[in-house]
């Protein structure tokens, strides 16, 4: 028969209780890092694609030609960026309303298909739309 003094000296039950208490916190941290890593990867790809598309717009001579160049570039090169589905990209190339010497390229990405939204419900996640604008100066200096 096991006496009560045996249970006082045994520390394995304490380790199990500590593990049970800390596991949800650990999962929240690890899955949160994974979720935000995926989200930031997609956001970086959208930002880089917007910057590259704005650089392509420099080659156009008119606003229509710039818009056509930007749209063609995003359509052709969108699939090569990490975590980006080109079907969910919206492109808005435009002359800058604030400065006619600048040209804006705005990309909006619907990130609802990323595999992070049902990962772990307590994780506070950012919005499902990623939007970046890149501006390039037209002409010379």
State the CB neighbour count (10 A cutoff) for residue 101.
10
Q: What integer best gives the mean pLDDT of the chain?
A: 88
DSSP 28: H
Contact 27, 120 (CB under 8 A): yes
Model pTM score: 0.81
Domain ranges of the chain: 11-137
CB 136 within 8 Å of CB 99: no
Q: What is the pLDDT of residue 141?
A: 53
Q: Is the pLDDT of residue 99 over 60?
A: yes
Closest residue by Cα to residue 69 from 57, 54, 86, 52: 57
7-53 per-position pLDDT tens digit: 566 666 788 888 899 998 998 889 889 888 999 999 999 999 999 99
The answer to whether 111 and 79 have CB atoms below 8 angstroms apart is: no
């Amino acid at each position: 028969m096991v006496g009560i003094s045996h249970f006082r000296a045994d520390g394995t039950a304490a380790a199990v209780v500590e593990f049970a208490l800390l596991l949800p916190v650990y999962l929240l941290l690890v899955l949160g890092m994974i979720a935000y890593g995926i989200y930031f990867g997609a956001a970086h790809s959208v930002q880089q694609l917007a910057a590259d598309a704005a650089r392509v717009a420099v080659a156009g001579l008119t606003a229509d030609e710039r818009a056509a160049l930007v749209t063609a570039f995003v359509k052709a090169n969108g699939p090569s960026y990490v975590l980006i589905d080109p079907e969910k990209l919206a492109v808005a190339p435009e002359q800058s309303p604030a400065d006619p010497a600048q040209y804006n390229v705005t990309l909006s990405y619907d990130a609802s298909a990323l595999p992070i939204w049902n990962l772990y419900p307590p994780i506070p996640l950012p919005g499902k739309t990623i939007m970046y604008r890149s501006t390039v100066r037209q002409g010379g200096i």
